[in-house]
Amino acid sequence: MELFKGDRLKQFLGEIMSVKRDYYEILGLKRGSSAAEIKNAFRSLARKYHPDKNQGNSESEIKFKEVQEAYAILSDPNEKRKYDTYGHNRPGGSPFGSSGFEGVNISIEDLFGGGFESVFGSIFGSAGNRRAKRQRGSDLLVRHSISFEEVMYGCDASIKFDVLKTCKSCNGIGSPTQDGVRECPACDGRGRIQKIERVGPFTQQVVSDCSSCKGEGRIVMVPCSYCKGEGRANESKNVQFSVPPGIESGTRLRKSGSGESPKTENGDSGHLYIEIDIKEHEWFERDGADLLMAVPLSYTDLVLGTTIEIPHLDGELLKIKVPSGSNPGQTISLKGRGFPSQRSRNGRGSVMVLLKLDIPTKISRELKKKLLNLKEDLSYSDDELNNKIRDEAQSRRRG
């Protein structure tokens, strides 16, 4: 067995180290290249050798891994400084641990969508990624009832409810002082745990919320007595809002930022959704912007005609003119007296009036005698009745 000493040992070690290509050479750059040049070179080569574009090509796979490793070192100022001074034989050995560089999970979307920086930052612990992920507070849904009259012109309203807001006692810290809160040691304050799993020749990045701190990146050691360390507490809140004219039941109005406060300090409040419920009216039903109603009339009103005046939602009397000779089931349309239309800025729907024959269930003896005297004049002969039946059938078929 040959032993290497002195210059022969140095030569042998140099031959071993020469197997590993120079990182600048891999990226096609010269020493002293700027961070922007390193980034652009990596992006171009990573696109070229990405496994998704070169499936089954083992050579591209090797080159892709080389490009990843070169960028991982040269994009980190500290590691780049060591590499520029000592090359591959830098103090402390490989920055990737005893197992060496395992690769980074990079997708085509990362490369073309500009997301590759965040991918590498998450793997190598960039300062930006050490912050807990930005969260938004939960949205809230409350229901508010309005009258039929308020739909006509809209209205201003307010609603009072309880919501989780930033604790006023501890300002959302969860502890009386900053000393009562510490960075989560399990995730180093990131709020997420990251693992690299190998799937065949490729690697996969798995990210999940830290179970120790529930994704918040911090642990409250001395809880606030008011919010019990949650950083949020229930607070009564009054919100004012406007209901637009012609609104339909079930419509949800949104008040941005009026929902729950976030669990983390760097998050945004959720939204408040107000679902509108419209109370029933005494006689109106609704079909979009149209108002529907039925008017019971006596036989003489239908035969002789009449005019009816009733209060209306717009503040003016609703006049319904029933022509003489009207039949039960006919409708009268009063245009422009319905609700404001959602489709037209200035338009309004119609009021549709259904005429109904009102037959009294109880009549006096005197009225009964009068009706018996009129029966002969109002009744049809057999021939007249047959003709009426035929006319009704033809009219129904034409309709």
Query: What is the per-residue pLDDT for 309?
Result: 93
pLDDT over 80 (residue 136): yes
The pLDDT assigned to 334 comes to 94
Q: Assess whether 266 and 147 both reside in one domain.
A: yes
Render pLDDT for 334-347 as a digit per residue (tens, 0 to 9).
Answer: 999 999 987 766 78
Mean pLDDT of 308-331: 92
Q: Is it the case that residue 198 has pLDDT exceeding 70?
A: no
For 227-242, write each residue's pLDDT tens digit: 888 888 888 999 999 9
Domain of residue 44: give its range.
Answer: 6-130
Q: Would residue 1 count as lying in a domain?
A: no
Q: Domain count of the chain?
A: 3
The answer to whether residues 155 and 271 belong to one domain is yes
Q: Is the pLDDT of residue 169 over 60?
A: yes
Average pLDDT of the residues of the chain: 80
Task: Answer yes or no: is 135 within a domain.
Answer: no
Q: Which of 67-71, 130-134, 269-273, 367-371 has the lowest mean pLDDT?
A: 130-134
Domain boundary among 66, 99, 130: 130
Phi-psi domain of 115 (left: phi exceeds 0; alpha: psi -120 through 50; beta: other): alpha
Which segment, 232-236, 263-267, 384-388, is predicted with the most confidence on average?
A: 232-236
Residues 277 and 253 sit within 8 Å (Cβ to Cβ): no
pTM value is: 0.56
Question: Do 176 and 269 belong together in one domain?
Answer: yes
124 in any annotated domain: yes
Please report the pLDDT score of residue 240 as a whole number.
93
**Tokens encoding 290:** 């149209």
Contact 151, 278 (CB under 8 A): yes
Query: How far is CA 157 from each of CA 75, 144, 259, 375, rounded to the nearest angstrom?
Result: 56, 9, 18, 59
Paired tokens of 266: 């760097």
Residue 202's CATH number: 2.10.230.10
**Residue in 153, 189, 164 with CA at minimum distance from that of residue 315:** 153
156 shares its domain with 265: yes
Confirm whether 110 is domain-assigned.
yes
Q: Is residue 268 part of a domain?
A: yes
Residue where a domain terminates, one of 232, 255, 278 = 278
Model pLDDT for residues 275-302, shown as the tens digit of each residue = 999 999 999 999 999 999 999 999 889 9
How much is the pLDDT for 399? 66
Claim to verify: residue 148 and residue 230 sit in the same structural domain = yes
pLDDT at 73 over 50: yes
Instruction: Please answer whether residues 233 and 240 qualify as being in contact, where contact means their C-beta atoms are separated by less than 8 angstroms.
Output: no
Give pLDDT, residue 92.
Answer: 55
* Each residue's pLDDT tens digit, 145-159: 999 999 999 999 999
User: Do both 84 and 168 map to the same domain?
Assistant: no
- Give the per-residue pLDDT at 107: 45
Could you give the CA distance from residue 337 to residue 320 in angstroms, rounded to a whole number? Answer: 12
Whether 336 and 266 map to the same domain: the answer is: no
Q: Is residue 21 part of a domain?
A: yes
Q: What is the mean pLDDT of residues 13-21?
A: 56
Which of 278, 297, 322 represents a domain boundary (last residue)?
278
Residue 270 lies in a domain: yes
Are 33 and 118 members of one domain? Answer: yes
Q: Clarify whether residues 289 and 274 are in a common domain.
A: no
CATH code: domain of residue 353: 2.60.260.20
Whether 273 and 289 share a structural domain: no
Q: Which residue has the higher pLDDT, 136 or 312?
A: 312
- Beta 351-357 vs 290-297: how paired, if at all? parallel
Report for 183-197, 260-274, 307-321: range of highest mean pLDDT: 307-321
Does residue 19 have a pLDDT over 70? Answer: no
Residues 121 and 148 in one domain: no
The per-residue pLDDT for 68 is 85
Whether 352 is in a domain gets the answer yes
Residue pair 364/372 in contact by the 8 Å Cβ criterion: no
* Better-predicted residue by pLDDT, 110 or 226: 226
Confidence category of residue 367, pLDDT binned at 50, 70, 90: confident
Give me the CATH number covering residue 30.
1.10.287.110
Q: In this predicted structure, what is the pLDDT of residue 156?
A: 93
Clarify whether residues 175 and 305 are in a common domain. Answer: no
**Can you tell me the mean pLDDT for 24-53?**
85
